[in-house]
Structure 1
Amino acid sequence: MAQRLTATVALVTGASSGIGEATALALAAEGAQVAVVARRRDRLEDLAARIGDAGGRALVIEADVTERQQAEGAVATTVEQLGRLDTVVNNAGVMLLGPVVDAPVEEWERMLSLNVQGLMYVAHAALPHLLQAAADGPREVADLINVSSVAGRVARNGSAVYNATKHAVGAFSEGLRQEVTQRHVRVSLIEPGAVDTELPDHNRPAIREHLQQRFADVERLRSEDIADAIAYVVTRARHVAINELLVRPTEQQA
């Protein structure tokens, strides 16, 4: 099958593991040059080497997108080094669960900073380049993918602030979609259910144990499943926009 993203450039945040890593590999397999962005440079370099071994090209950018200048710099470096920007996958995020009562407020600040502000910083910096790609690029369309969660649809006891950040991602995505869709920049929201990644590992021990029990009988999604969904969205024909995609394990009820 022909590579559908040949002559295009993609940027993926949170690319050092999980969904971001799998997405970078999937987009590279479709022919895109990929800028991989995260804080763990060693993992990014390993990912870039694997993409290179498969015949692709990856640009390693060590950055913390919660810092506005670093987010803007990641976008600028991508365009300077790879020449353009056609696809952005805003994947970087953190999930820190627990009750609101007596919660460590620092966890809230971390989630808001990364899940909301960091995503918005990257989107804002990328939009001029995406609009330009849609106007004169090889595909005459550009894509901004914001990775949310089923938590952006359904609020749960013990997940209030994480829910709030992911609902914010959904609202931002839809408002921006309406703003730029007639200029052929497609804004898409991807909402994974339970995925077997590092995401739960950042929680406090009691919460990690609760999550393990909750999903003990569920065959969780793999990162490659979400990467496949993202690749599907960004390879549609110019006149087709997948605005929102919810992907849950078959056995996950809520």
Structure 2
Amino acid sequence: MSGTVALITGASSGIGEAAALSLASRGASVALVARRADRLAELADRIRGEGGVALVVEADVTSQEAAVAAVRRTVDELGRLDTLVNNAGVMLLGPVVDAPVEEWQRMVSVNVLGLLYTAHAALPHLLAAATNGRRKVADMVNVSSVAGRVARNGSGVYNATKHAVGAFSESLRQEVTGRYVRISLVEPGAVSTELADHNRPEILETIRQRFADVERLEADDVADTIAYIVTRPRHVAVNELLVRPTQQQA
């Protein structure tokens, strides 16, 4: 990926952090986008210490203006955009009955609107990279979830947001694949990250019990999946990849 630029949202922890390290180790310059600037700075220092190029972009992509500015700054300072990893997301589970509606609003804002805003801002640059770049191909990887394939009692709105990501990704794939912009959907199962930690205590305990006997994926496992997708030859597109812990049944 030498000579290419990748923008990763949700880069301050978990899958986003691991993906940034993985792509940087393969030669990509990386724009690190998230709200927690202190964590981004630490990650950037690590990448630079290993000889890579990293740009810290503090932004909340639920704001269209912030998403547009993050993409613009990436292109202005790093010169181009070849790869977008739409990873920012939140998972707030629980019954629909008597649910705190603000949790639904947060998930829709981050998981759907944030992804849409960033994708829309990045697309002209991805199309340009596919036309003029050395590799003659560009990539958008949208991180969804097994929840985007299987609906479960207690995760209805999270399911809805991740199904939306899948539908959007497939429609966009059909629109731009003939122009060598590859749209890929990654659907992880249970991963050992901070994602579940923001749930209410009673919901968090339910999640812990469900996966108590499952050896979860690590963020690096999903980052390896993303790196595999974006390093395929120009004529190969991995459109959808479901990756679960071996012991996870659903």
Count of aligned pairs between the two proteins: 250
Counterpart in the other structure of 1:217: 213
Q: Aligned AA for 2:212?
A: A
Instruction: Name the counterpart of 2:119.
Output: 123
> Structure 1 CA distance, aligned partners of 2:184 and 2:211?
27
Q: Is 1:94 matched up with 2:103?
A: no
Q: CA deviation at 1:8?
A: 0.2
Shift of 1:61: 0.2
CA distance in 1, matches of 2:155, 2:130: 38
The secondary structure found in structure 2 opposite 1:252 is: coil
Shift of 1:52: 0.3
Structure 2 residue runs without a partner (length 5+): none
TM-score normalised by structure 2 residue count:
1.00
Aligned 1:41-80 pairs, distance under 5 A: 41-80=37-76
Secondary structure in 2 matching 1:37 = strand
Q: How far apart are residue 182 of structure 1 and its match?
A: 0.2
2:247 maps to 1:251: yes
Matched, 1:24 2:57: no
Give, in angstroms, the shift of residue 30 of structure 1.
0.5
Q: Determine the C-alpha separation between the residues in 1 that align with 2:144 and 2:8.
A: 14
- The answer for the alignment partner of 1:158 in structure 2 is 154
Residue 108 in structure 1 maps to residue 104 in structure 2: yes
| Aligned alpha-carbon RMSD (Å) | 0.2
* Separation (CA, whole Å) in 1 of partners of 2:51 and 2:93: 40
What is the match of residue 136 of structure 1? 132
Distance 1:178 1:8 in 2: 24
Instruction: Identify unmatched segments of 5+ residues in structure 1.
Output: none
- Write the distance in 1 (CA, Å) between the matches of 2:81 and 2:242: 26
DSSP-derived class of the 1:251 partner:
coil
- Aligned AA (2:47): I
**Percent sequence identity over aligned pairs:** 74
What whole-Å deviation, never above 9, does each CA across 1:63-91 have from its counterpart, x for those lacking one? 00000000000000000000000000000
What TM-score results when the alignment is normalised by the length of structure 1?
Answer: 0.98
Match of 2:200 in 1: 204
**Counterpart secondary structure, 2:232:** coil
Q: Which residue of 1 aligns with 2:228?
A: 232
Structure 1 runs of 4+ with >4 Å offset? none
Aligned to 1:169: 165
1:103 is paired with a residue of what secondary structure? coil
**What is the SS of the residue equivalent to 2:90?**
coil
